[in-house]
Structure 1
Amino acid sequence: MNFTKTLFIILFSALGFVPSFSQGLEYKKSFEGLASFYGKEFNGKTTANGDVFSNRYYTCAHRTLPFGTLIEIENPRNGRKVIVKVNDRGPFVGERVIDLSREAARKLGLIHHGVSDIKARILKKRKGFDVNTGSMATKSKWPEPTTSRSFHEMLFLNSARKNLVMKI
């Protein structure tokens, strides 16, 4: 019996049927449930991914989603939405599906309720999110590319006389 189990595991492993815990897991694109928020006593403590937690950031805890996953959370009562980044594990109380930072909960209008129903949608894009503002970066930090002619005009054009002035 033991030999048969071992052979079975080896066979399925060789064929690639054993799921990986970090790669290749399929997650639902959206979910609903109860959300709560972190208490003030967690400020400054280390999260499961090694970040220092701050209630001012737009972050959350989820039991299974990979760290860095962006989730758009909506409060169905008032229609407010916010984007948060998974950086911790939890919640481990009751039937809650997500723990939000205090700032994210405040923006959604959940502070007075403590625990509230939410609708969540997992976002595909992971880059360009700012945890300080809770928004996706739309502009590049770098200036737009320019032609060499317009670059020289910007540097050397004297706006008062409308001619090129070069200082040596």
Structure 2
Amino acid sequence: MVAISRNIQLLLFAFILAGCSTIQSGAGGDRIGFTESGQASYYSDRHQNNKTASGDIYQHNQKTAAHKTLPFGSNVKVTNTNNGKSVIVKINDRGPFVKGRIIDLSKSAFSSIGNISTGVINVNIEVVR
């Protein structure tokens, strides 16, 4: 009787622990098709080689980005609404924390769809596979 009770306790503990897991399966797979419109900015050079919220090291030549809520590892298509150019980036950081801005792009990602001298561009974003 005691052994059965102990096994039930262990099983319940395992279920509770599994429910608390923060592992994100599918790297944004449950958000495929999510869209948002707003402004994009880019990381300044002072962020080069700094650790991002995901633990990755920021490199301005990689196609990465920061978003407030999308899971790390999500692939996001970012389209400049003024010229139609797009880039696919991987979310590996949190931000931006400026009103109206929805995504911070790496310098190379930003420059592939817009002129970095503008600083901010209007974009549509969509989570893709």
- In the superposition, the TM-score normalised over structure 2's length comes to 0.74
SS in 2 for 1:105: helix
1:13-67 deviation digits (Å, cap 9, x = unpaired): xxxxx9x876699646211111000000000000001111000000000000000
Cα separation, partners in 2 of 1:80 and 1:45, compared to 1, 3 Å: same
Residue in structure 1 matched with residue 35 of structure 2 by the alignment: 30
User: How many angstroms does 1:79 deviate by?
Assistant: 1.1
Quick one: percent identity of the two aligned structures?
40
Q: Deviations over 1:62-114 (max 9, x none)?
A: 00000000000111111111000000000012221000000000001141211
- For structure 2, the 5+ residue unaligned runs are 1-18
Q: Is 1:101 the counterpart of 2:86 in the alignment?
A: no
Tell whether the 8 Å contact from 2:63 to 2:106 is kept in structure 1 after alignment. yes
Moved over 6 A (4+): none
Which whole-Å CA distance do the structure 1 matches of 2:89 and 2:74 have between them? Answer: 8
1:120 pairs with 2:125: yes
Report the CA distance shift for 1:22/1:94 in structure 2 as closer, same or farther (over 3 A): farther
More helix by share: 2
Q: State the distance in 2 between where 1:122 and 1:94 align.
A: 21
- Tell me which of the two structures has the higher relative contact order, counting C-alpha pairs closer than 8 angstroms and 6 or more residues apart: 2
Distance across 2 between alignment mates of 1:23 and 1:42: 26
Aligned alpha-carbon RMSD (Å) = 2.3
